[in-house]
C-alpha cells in the first residue's frame, strides 16, 4: 500500500514484472487530477503514448479531448490511466499475464484516487472491470455498480476514428455520463 500517487508512480516507473518492460520506451502511468471523482481507463499505451510517457496523446487522445469538451470536461478535471502501463509490441492486445502483473498498479491508482465513476475506454478495459461477457456493442453507455463505484464503457476513441458511424451513439453515451456526474459527483 502506497501513501500517495507520487510514491506509487515512482515504484511503477521501475517495474520489471512482465515482458513488456523489455520493449517499452516509457512507463505510461497515468495523468490528471488526483482528487477527481472521475477515472477514465484504457487498455494500454500506443506508440505515441510510449514515446511521450503519457496516456492518450495521439489522434485518439485528441478525439478523447473533444469528447470531454462535449460534456464540459477537460484533463484537469479527470484522471486517465490504462490497465497495462507499458506498450504491447505493435499495439497488440495486452495478454492475460501482462494484465495480471500490471493489475496491482491500477488497483492502487483506484484506491488512492477513490473515484465515484470509472469510464472504461473500449472493450478490453470494459471486460477487465465487467467480465468477459461484456459486449461493447451491446452494453456501451450503461452503468454497472462494481465494488461501490459506478462503471460504464464508451467506445475507444481509436475505434471511433476507424468507424465514425459510432460517434452518434457515443455522443448519447457521453450525455448519460454527464447526467450521472451531475447526480453523484460533488466536486465536478
Angle at 68 between CA 137 and CA 123, to 5 degrees: 25
pLDDT for res 147 = 95
Domains recognised in the chain with CATH numbers: 5-183 (3.40.470.10)
- Going residue by residue through the chain, which has 188 residues, state the pLDDT in tens, using 9 for 90 and above: 899 999 999 999 999 999 999 999 999 999 999 999 999 999 999 999 999 999 999 999 999 999 999 999 999 999 999 999 999 999 899 999 999 999 999 999 999 999 999 999 999 999 999 999 999 999 999 999 999 999 999 999 999 999 999 999 999 999 999 999 999 999 88
Is this model's pTM higher than 0.95 or not?
yes
pLDDT for res 65 = 98
**Quick count: other Cβ atoms within 10 Å of Cβ 37?**
21
CA 40/CA 77 separation, integer angstroms: 11
pLDDT for res 185 = 97
**Residues 166/155, Cβ–Cβ less than 8 Å:** yes
- Give strand pairing partners of 32: 79
pLDDT for res 113 = 98
- Give strand pairing partners of 31: 80
- Does an H or E element contain 54, and which? none
pLDDT for res 187 = 86
**Quick count: other Cβ atoms within 10 Å of Cβ 8?**
20
Angle at 152 between CA 151 and CA 156, to 5 degrees: 130
DSSP 128-146: HHH-TT--HHHHTT--EEE
Amino acid at each position: 500500500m502506497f501513501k500517495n500517487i507520487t510514491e506509487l508512480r515512482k515504484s511503477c516507473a521501475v517495474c520489471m514484472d512482465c515482458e513488456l518492460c523489455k520493449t517499452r520506451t516509457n512507463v505510461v502511468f497515468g495523468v490528471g487530477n488526483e482528487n477527481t471523482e472521475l477515472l477514465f481507463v484504457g487498455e494500454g499505451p500506443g506508440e505515441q503514448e510510449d514515446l511521450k510517457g503519457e496516456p492518450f496523446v495521439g489522434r485518439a487522445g485528441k478525439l478523447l479531448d473533444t469528447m470531454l469538451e462535449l460534456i464540459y470536461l477537460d484533463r484537469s478535471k479527470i484522471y486517465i490511466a490504462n490497465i497495462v502501463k507499458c506498450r504491447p509490441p505493435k499495439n497488440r492486445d495486452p495478454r492475460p499475464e501482462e494484465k495480471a502483473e500490471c493489475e496491482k498498479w491500477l488497483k492502487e491508482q483506484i484506491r488512492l484516487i477513490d473515484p465515484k465513476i470509472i469510464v472504461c475506454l473500449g472493450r478490453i478495459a470494459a471486460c477487465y472491470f465487467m467480465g468477459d461477457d461484456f459486449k461493447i456493442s451491446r452494453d456501451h453507455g450503461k452503468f454497472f455498480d462494481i465494488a461501490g463505484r459506478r462503471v460504464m464503457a464508451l467506445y475507444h476513441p481509436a475505434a471511433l476514428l476507424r468507424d465514425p458511424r459510432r460517434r452518434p451513439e457515443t455522443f448519447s453515451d457521453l450525455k448519460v455520463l454527464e447526467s450521472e456526474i451531475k447526480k453523484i459527483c460533488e466536486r465536478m
